[in-house]
Amino acid sequence: MHFASDNAAGIAPAILAAIGQANEGFALGYGEDAITKRLERRFAEIFEHEVAAFLVPTGTAANALALAHIAPPWGAVLCHEECHLAVDECGAPEFFGGGLKLIPLQGEACKISVAAFEAALKRLPTGGPHHVTPAALSLTQATEAGTLYRPDEISRLAALAHADKMLVHVDGARFANALVRQKLSPAAATWKLGVDVLSFGATKGGALAAEAVLFFDPMRRAGMAERRKRGGHLLSKHRFIAAQIEAYLADDLWLTLARHANTMADRLAERLAAVGYPPVWPVEANEVFAKFPRALDRRLKQAGASYHPWQTNGLPAGVMIAPDEVLVRLVASFATRAEDAEEFVEAIRGA
Ligand SMILES: Cc1ncc(COP(=O)(O)O)c(C=O)c1O
């Protein structure tokens, strides 16, 4: 009953094996190894576009370094008020960005609506020495609520951002989960919609610690190698981070693992709904959010279930959390087994 997070799962066996294979012999450090050198080409093939790729070990580093690279210290990054970079990165985007300002926007299900973004652009001052100027829009796909931006939503948001000379960043810690659900190609989900830079996640999908910052305009590579090194995120034994991503991408493993995680989340949501706890948001990736009575929550925890409570301002209209209830987040991963949902629901029945 391990639904705390997708990082509670281990490493996908093929990725672990690739780390072992990369361990044979010697290779130059700092990205001068053969695996790293072929990876950028691989990303370009997968995304059907030239890219500049920079590997880092954490999603926080990917987001913070990417945003620092596209927004000046006097710039603002508009993002959802509950997104990871605003809430869970201990100020890393502001730190790496030399004090750049995050401007949090509200929205149901962790999504920024086109109307909310438009209103923010109208409201926020730009230019001059007195204000931060909006420099980037950051979206999370899949969102922290396990929901998805539709392609037309992203392209409309991106068009508005570009019209205001802003760039578009996507936090793709769960990009693969979104992609397989929407049955889109990587290109159709990113640069074709106007995404300029993607934090491409692999850790939650099954790697040990591997993320990539992908710039769809390779000219943006200028200065990024220095920024990553200066920020302490250029791995010396870089071949091992590259080996993880190479294995993750090989034979569509990343998509297979994400499809499995999504299917497990669907199954869990279905079983929970059947016993009276339907998901509060549509299950569009690998996360399920449900309201549990506090007494049930206590008993499940006593029975060994692992999951986290969740705070949000973005519940759908009409959905309320009563004082004796708790909103919980249940995350499925590549390692979730089909029987896990049954065991969990059995524990609910027992409780
Ligand atoms: C949406 C999202 N972005 C980024 C991250 C950052 O990942 P890390 O913990 O590797 O820094 C997470 C991790 O929970 C996440 O959920």
Question: What's the whole-number average pLDDT of the chain?
Answer: 97
- Residue holding tokens 């909006």? 134
Taking the C-alpha atoms of residue 214 and residue 52, their distance in angstroms, rounded to an integer, is 6
Q: What is the pLDDT of residues 53-66, one digit of tens each?
A: 999 999 999 999 99
Work out the average pLDDT over 77-98: 98
pLDDT, residue 341, reads 94
Work out the average pLDDT over 36-50: 97
What stretches of 28-70 show up as alpha helix (H) in DSSP?
34-47, 59-70
pLDDT, residue 1, reads 85
Q: What is the pLDDT of residues 291-333, one digit of tens each?
A: 999 999 999 999 999 999 999 999 999 999 999 999 999 999 9
Distance 44 CA to ligand 1 centre (A): 24
For residue 175, pLDDT beyond 90: yes
For residue 176, pLDDT beyond 90: yes
pLDDT, residue 351, reads 86
* pLDDT band, very low/low/confident/very high, at 85 (cuts 50, 70, 90): very high
- Taking the CA of residue 211 as reference, the ligand 1 atom at the shortest distance is 10
Name the percent of the chain lying above pLDDT 90. Answer: 98
For residue 128, pLDDT beyond 90: no
Distance 31 CA to ligand 1 centre (A): 23
- Taking the CA of residue 142 as reference, the ligand 1 atom at the shortest distance is 1
For residue 127, pLDDT beyond 90: no
For residue 273, pLDDT beyond 90: yes
Ligand 1 atom 5 nearest Cα: 59
- Under the phi-then-psi rule, with left for phi > 0, alpha for psi from -120 to 50, and beta for the rest, what region is 48? left
| Cβ neighbourhood burial of 15 (10 Å; 0-12, 13-18, 19+) | buried
Distance 246 CA to ligand 1 centre (A): 20
* pLDDT band, very low/low/confident/very high, at 7 (cuts 50, 70, 90): very high
pLDDT, residue 266, reads 98
Q: Using the 8-state DSSP alphabet, how is residue 77 labeled? A: E
For residue 231, pLDDT beyond 90: yes
pLDDT, residue 255, reads 98
